[in-house]
Structure 1
């Protein structure tokens, strides 16, 4: 094990926590490792909503380039940030055991829920689901790493902001003034960490494969397949969650209009042995039930 595995990561506190988790796990297996943090395009431009930037994989592209240039050997990502199609020459190496999948609302008091209010999020999915439930509320754009977004919430007169529970829990920043949004369908692969490697690097592929969690990998495969078939290369308000209990998979997937007024949902239950193509099947059911027209409408509005 003489080769030192160079681990690429974004340089936010959460991304470094994730990369260090992988580093420690690999070193516990006897591998030598080195962290190489970089700043992604998504981290540099915090003013523009993500969907307006028009770049697939905006948080992963910088690390993809570093890997192709042989500056790093593997990269660690929040899996929900990773495009469903990986670049040529880069492959999925391992999916780590999933953390909390929930979205949470960090708030300054909950009286606004029954009246007028303003919450913040940079996610089309969260915005659409919030407006579906609270159509009279305003939603402001919120970008940046976890620490930056928490500070922006503090500095503005918003009533609250939506975060992924997993990110806050991982770096011990989850405050007391939060509520679980158990009605909100998470992003595909939310709470999961992905390690990617170079396709021709058997040493690194074999190393990281030992960290793979099979059940998490199956669940996120179903969710990301649902996303891939629905999306067709267009960012859209899409939620998906697969869970496994006693060899049975429960799946919920949904597509929303940008204003949250339309919700197309598909639920399925199937045997763990029969999970292949279930995400595609659910997506096609939504597409044939008004989803195709809704996706065209979303694409037109985002490109206008």
Structure 2
């Protein structure tokens, strides 16, 4: 039996996520080998992601390897996927989703509300930056790149008072014991697709698609479909100050899909928050409808509004 070649980035988180997928494929009787693929985002650790092309820079090299036949499938953090379709690849599975929330890791076990005014909080995300500013806590938000170990070290070594990271990544790496506060989505809505994995295959590879399909979780797919449809309709990149969270909830007539979203000014000076409810089967339409509601209420202007030119430049 020929082994499935699974493309992965070198980072500890990417390797952990890819190994998780590989183990589940092996449990279904498939032989899987990991193939390392380097990306521009891995080679350049200092340039802000927005200038490199957003978190989608981590996806492009894996997609090239997939399209060229060097690997048979690739695993991504779903929040990194560009919303524009790539006809060469197909999203074959969205496995069960991890914790969607953002997490704070702060010195001395502090929570966000306990950090003093002027405390420095590191993040490379315009979405997190804007929502931190919106809380009005007087925090200094610092740009931060690097892998999970590098970001956590900035706190442990005293260079920053705190960092904000995705809870899912910390859990997958077994580092969640270092979290000092899980941030409620009421405070900070996550990125569209956060906590979910995407398994892509070539569009003409039916055999691999069939093997991977066993990992697909219908609820997770419905949720991320709604979140990504919203992001695409807003024409916002994955580094834009947009947060969204869809959840399957029990309604009067069965399962419903609840979707809420925030669009913020890059400098955190203002925001729009809206929500709608639909059905899991209508996930894509739900995302479109909520995006159009936000656009009617001024979201497009808000995303490019900033009283600080430096912040506007970072968000572009």
TM range (shorter): over 0.9
Structure 1, unpaired ranges of 5+? none
1:271 to 268, 276, 279: 279
What's 1:220 paired with? Answer: 224
Q: In the TM superposition, what are the counterparts of 1:1-304 in structure 2 within 5 Å?
A: 2-54=1-53, 57-109=56-108, 110=110, 113-134=115-136, 136-176=138-178, 178-182=180-184, 183-233=187-237, 235-246=239-250, 247-297=255-305, 301-302=312-313
Q: CA RMSD in A?
A: 2.0
Cα 1:99–1:157, aligned 2, differ >3 Å: closer, same or farther?
A: same
Deviations 1:207-244 (A, max 9, x none): 10111000000000000111111135584100000000
Count of matched residue pairs: 302
Please, which runs of 5 or more residues in structure 2 have no aligned partner?
A: none
C-alpha deviations, 1:50-82, integer Å up to 9, x for none? 112235710111111111221001000111111
TM-score using structure 1 length: 0.93
Task: Provide the TM-score with structure 2 as the length reference.
Answer: 0.90
1:17-54 deviation line (CA, Å, top 9, x unaligned): 11111111111111121110122211221212211223
Q: Displacement, 1:134?
A: 3.0
Query: How far did residue 152 of structure 1 move?
Result: 2.6
| Structure 1 residue 265: Cα displacement | 1.1
SS of the residue 1:207 aligns to = helix
Deviates more, 1:82-91 or 1:221-230: 82-91
